[in-house]
Structure 1
Amino acid sequence: MAETRRRGAELERAILTAAAEELAESGYEGLTMDRVAKRAGTNKNAIYRRWPNRAVLGVAAYRHLVTAAVDLPDTGSLREDVLELLRRANRHWTSPHGAILRGLMAGIGVPELLAQIRDEVGDAGSALWLTVLGRAVARGEARPEALHPRVATVAVALLRNEFLTSGVPNVPDAVLVEVVDEVYLPLVRAR
């Protein structure tokens, strides 16, 4: 019996899964269209029709790897919710997925793709932060004017800065607490 040829979403999932596995095993440096095609059981043309180069494929594969419904913290306290989001981001950065992310950021020289990584996966998306901040506004813990993507994501931007300036992938919890207590809360709280 002949094997049914995969198409559409099924083939795309197979390719993205294969590319994510290659990233996990070999990093961005080892990611090749040949190896992904072989692992996915397809040909390079099927990959190139969807992703024009390995950088775009690498970003898509990483996104595929980490895409999951995020359970937002809702403790009833802005401080605790923001600390939990920062702690999760900190843990992610030190995880195997974080190693893949760091490899992508180091290996991709295309500014537009780097911006996508930072905006979509690097900060877990401004929508998450806006949701947490919106809840705080509704409780009277933050001022409505703070509901702006740059303001909402300033804590994770500072965390990312710590990764870059300290050179280590794990920021001490005391630094996270300081970011929240000394910068984030004074910035967003009602005056």
Structure 2
Amino acid sequence: MAERRRGAALEQALLDAAWAELTANGYARFTMDGVVQRAATSPPVLYRRWSDRESLIRATITHVLARSRLALPDTGSLRGDVLALLREINATRVQLITVMSAHLAGYHQQTGASPGDLLNTGEDPDLDLLYERAISRGEITGEGLSDRVKSLPFDLLRQEILVTFAPVADHVLTEIVDTIFLPLLR
């Protein structure tokens, strides 16, 4: 007889099942019943935690992003840190980026909110640390370091991935950092 899941183990199993449902069927065909079947549980178990599909999808995206959080590199230079982080994202997150973008396109149509609203739209404290270290090393002054500029290399990488649905060539990552991003900071 299988051991009964409870607490955090049950919640993780439900969120993993929801992610599997989302990646297999997309937002438009995502169902609570599909999650129940994938998790091998009962509807009341799921509905006690999430009363509707949107709240479950939000929790699932939060769960997946937290689980896939990358360690912040410390190479000794802003260029090295940003390039190392871009390379790590490029090597390990292409599927996550494409799945989230492709499968959540219907989210906007149904809810009026953008798929980006599912993400934590606040500042990423890890990225702030990356820039604070560069300022303390004297590499940059911090002038003109808006949230848009901070996210620019990562936004450009995401755009490249979404155009090709594949990892980006290393020379493109280097071009993003050296030709576009770093000149904005100097």
User: Could you say which TM-score interval applies, normalised by the shorter chain?
Assistant: 0.7 to 0.9
Q: Which amino acid aligns with 1:36?
A: V
Between the aligned residues of both structures, percent identity stands at 40
Distance 1:108 1:5 in 2: 33
Give the count of matched residue pairs.
Answer: 182
Match of 2:30 in 1: 31
Tell me the CA shift for residue 58 of structure 1. Answer: 2.9
Distance 1:74 1:12 in 2: 34
Q: Judging changes above 3 Å, is the alpha-carbon distance between structure 1 residues 105 and 39 closer, same or farther for their aligned structure 2 residues?
A: closer
Partner of 1:145, secondary structure, is coil
Q: 2:167 aligns with which of 163, 167, 170?
A: 170
Q: Which amino acid aligns with 2:38?
A: R
More displaced stretch, 132-141 vs 107-116: 107-116
Match of 1:70 in 2: 70
More displaced stretch, 168-177 vs 128-137: 168-177
Distance 2:157 2:112 in 1: 21
Q: 2:150 aligns with which of 145, 149, 152?
A: 152
Q: More relative contact order in 1 or in 2 (CA 8 Å, sep 6+)?
A: 2
Q: 1:128 aligns with which of 117, 126, 129?
A: 126
More displaced stretch, 177-186 vs 144-153: 144-153
Match of 2:16 in 1: 17
TM-score, with length taken from structure 2: 0.76
Distance 1:113 1:9 in 2: 29
Match of 1:115 in 2: 116
Q: 1:186 aligns with which of 172, 176, 183?
A: 183
Q: Is the 8 A contact 1:154 1:184 kept in 2?
A: yes
1:58 aligns with 2:57: yes
Distance 1:163 1:85 in 2: 15
Distance 1:150 1:99 in 2: 22
Partner of 2:139, secondary structure, is coil
More displaced stretch, 33-42 vs 7-16: 7-16
Tell me the CA shift for residue 93 of structure 1. Answer: 4.0
Q: Which amino acid aligns with 2:172?
A: V
Match of 2:46 in 1: 47
Unaligned runs of at least 5 residues, structure 2: none
Distance 1:161 1:85 in 2: 16
Match of 1:143 in 2: 141
Tell me the CA shift for residue 131 of structure 1. Answer: 1.5
Q: Which amino acid aligns with 1:186?
A: P
TM-score, with length taken from structure 1: 0.75
Q: Judging changes above 3 Å, is the alpha-carbon distance between structure 1 residues 171 and 56 closer, same or farther for their aligned structure 2 residues?
A: farther
Q: Which amino acid aligns with 1:35?
A: G
Q: Is the 8 A contact 2:78 2:130 kept in 1?
A: yes
Describe the superposition over 1:106-150 as per-residue Cα deviations: whole angstroms up to 9, x where unpaired. 342235351234556xxxx63232211111011001112345322
More displaced stretch, 47-56 vs 125-134: 47-56
Describe the superposition over 1:87-118 as per-residue Cα deviations: whole angstroms up to 9, x where unpaired. 222234433x3443233333422353512345
